[in-house]
Chain A
Amino acid sequence: QQKVQQSPESLIVPEGGMASLNCTSSDRNVDYFWWYRQHSGKSPKMLMSIFSNGEKEEGRFTVHLNKASLHTSLHIRDSQPSDSALYLCAATNTGNYKYVFGVGTRLKVIA
Chain B
Amino acid sequence: DAGVTQTPRHEVAEKGQTIILKCEPVSGHNDLFWYRQTKIQGLELLSYFRSKSLMEDGGAFKDRFKAEMLNSSFSTLKIQPTEPKDSAVYLCASRDRNERLFFGHGTKLSVL
Binding site for B on A (CB under 8 A): 32, 34, 36, 42-46, 49, 88, 90, 92, 96-104
Give the secondary structure class of A's interface. strand
CB nearest neighbor in A for B89? A43
Contacts of A46 in B (CB 8 A): 100-101
Given the contacts A43-B106, A99-B33, A103-B41, A36 and B48 also touching, CB distance less than 8 Å: no
> Main secondary structure on chain B at its contact with chain A?
strand
B92 to chain A, nearest CB (A): 9
Work out how many contacts link A and B, with CB atoms closer than 8 A. Answer: 47
Binding site for A on B (CB under 8 A): 31, 33, 35, 40-43, 45, 48, 50, 55-56, 91, 95, 99-101, 103-106
**Residues of A with C-beta under 8 A to B55:** 96-98
Measured in the bound complex, the distance between the Cα atoms of B101 and A104 in whole Å is: 16
Measured in the bound complex, the distance between the Cα atoms of B56 and A103 in whole Å is 20
Chain B residues in 8 Å Cβ range of A101: 35, 42-43
Contact assessment for A88 and B43 in the assembled complex, using a CB-CB cutoff below 8 Å: yes
